[in-house]
C-alpha cells in the first residue's frame, strides 16, 4: 500500500469516527433537552403558587405549627447545618429575619447540630427542628428538596422563592 493510499484511509477512518461521535453528542443533547423541559417539576425549590400541604409539628419553644399558622408568617426558611451554603447564609439570613419580624425557620439535622442554628434565630423567628428523614412532613408540605431555601408565603401558597442576594447572601 502506498503512502497516499494509507493517508487517505486514515483520514477516512478519522472522519467516520468524528461523524459517529457527533451523532452520539446530538443524541445526548436531545436527552438533556427533554430533562430540562421537565426541570420545573423536579426543582429543588417550590415554584410561586405551590400550595402548602397540611402538616402539624411543634417548634423548639413548644408552639404548635400547622399550615394555618404558617399562613400568618411572612417568611419561611429551610436550612441544614451540614450544608455549606446554609452555613454561609446563616448570618445574612438572621439579619434579614430581624428586619422582617415574622418568620418560620425549619432546621433539619441531628439535635446537636441544629442547636446552633436554632440559637441564632432565638427571639427572631419560630424555629422547628427536624431530624434528617426520608419523609419530613414540613419539607414535603412545602415541596422543598434542597437547602437553603427561603420563601415568602401567603394565602396557603408560596408567593416567592428568594434568591440569596434578596436576603443579603451572595453565593
Give the model confidence (pLDDT) of 138-164 as tens digits.
Answer: 888 998 988 999 999 988 899 999 888
Pairing of strands 75-79, 103-108: parallel
Q: What are the tens digits of pLDDT across the range 119-136?
A: 999 999 999 998 887 667
Q: What is the pLDDT of residue 3?
A: 92
Cell reading at 54: 397540611
CATH domain 56-167 topology: Glutaredoxin (3.40.30)
Distances (CA, A) of 102 to 73, 94, 109: 5, 12, 23
| Dist. CA 105–CA 103, nearest whole Å | 6
* Element housing 17 (H / E): helix 3-37
Digit-coded pLDDT (tens) for 4-18: 898 889 999 999 999
C-alpha cell at 20: 459517529
**Predicted local confidence at residue 155, as pLDDT:** 86
**In 3-state terms, what secondary structure has residue 98?**
helix
Give the H or E element holding residue 159: strand 157-161
Give the pLDDT confidence of 79-125 residue by residue, as tens digits.
999 889 999 999 999 999 998 878 999 999 888 889 999 999 999 99
Beta bridge partners of 150: 77
- For residue range 33-89, what is the model confidence (pLDDT) as tens digits? 777 665 545 567 788 999 999 999 999 999 999 998 887 778 999 999 988 999 999
- Whole-model pTM: value is 0.72
pLDDT recorded at residue 40: 47
Contact 79, 107 (CB under 8 A): yes
Contact 102, 74 (CB under 8 A): yes
Give the C-alpha separation, 78 to 151, whole Å.
Answer: 9
Neighbouring C-alpha atoms within 13 Å toward the C-beta of 26: 6
Q: Name the nearest CA neighbour of 140 among 67, 49, 91, 75.
A: 67
Amino acid at each position: 500500500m502506498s503512502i497516499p493510499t494509507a493517508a487517505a484511509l486514515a483520514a477516512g477512518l478519522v472522519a467516520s469516527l468524528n461523524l459517529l461521535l457527533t451523532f452520539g453528542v446530538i443524541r445526548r443533547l436531545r436527552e438533556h433537552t427533554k430533562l430540562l423541559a421537565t426541570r420545573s417539576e423536579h426543582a429543588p425549590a417550590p415554584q410561586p403558587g405551590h400550595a402548602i400541604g397540611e402538616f402539624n409539628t411543634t417548634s423548639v419553644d413548644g408552639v404548635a405549627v400547622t399550615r394555618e399558622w404558617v399562613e400568618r408568617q411572612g417568611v419561611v426558611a429551610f436550612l441544614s447545618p451540614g450544608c455549606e451554603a446554609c452555613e454561609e447564609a446563616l448570618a445574612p439570613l438572621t439579619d434579614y429575619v430581624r428586619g422582617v419580624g415574622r418568620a418560620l425557620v425549619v432546621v433539619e439535622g441531628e439535635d446537636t447540630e441544629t442547636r446552633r442554628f436554632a440559637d441564632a434565630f432565638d427571639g427572631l423567628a419560630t424555629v422547628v427542628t427536624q431530624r434528617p428523614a426520608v419523609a419530613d412532613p414540613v419539607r414535603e408540605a412545602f415541596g422543598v428538596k434542597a437547602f437553603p431555601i427561603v420563601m415568602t408565603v401567603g394565602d396557603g401558597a408560596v408567593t416567592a422563592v428568594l434568591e440569596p442576594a434578596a436576603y443579603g447572601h451572595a453565593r
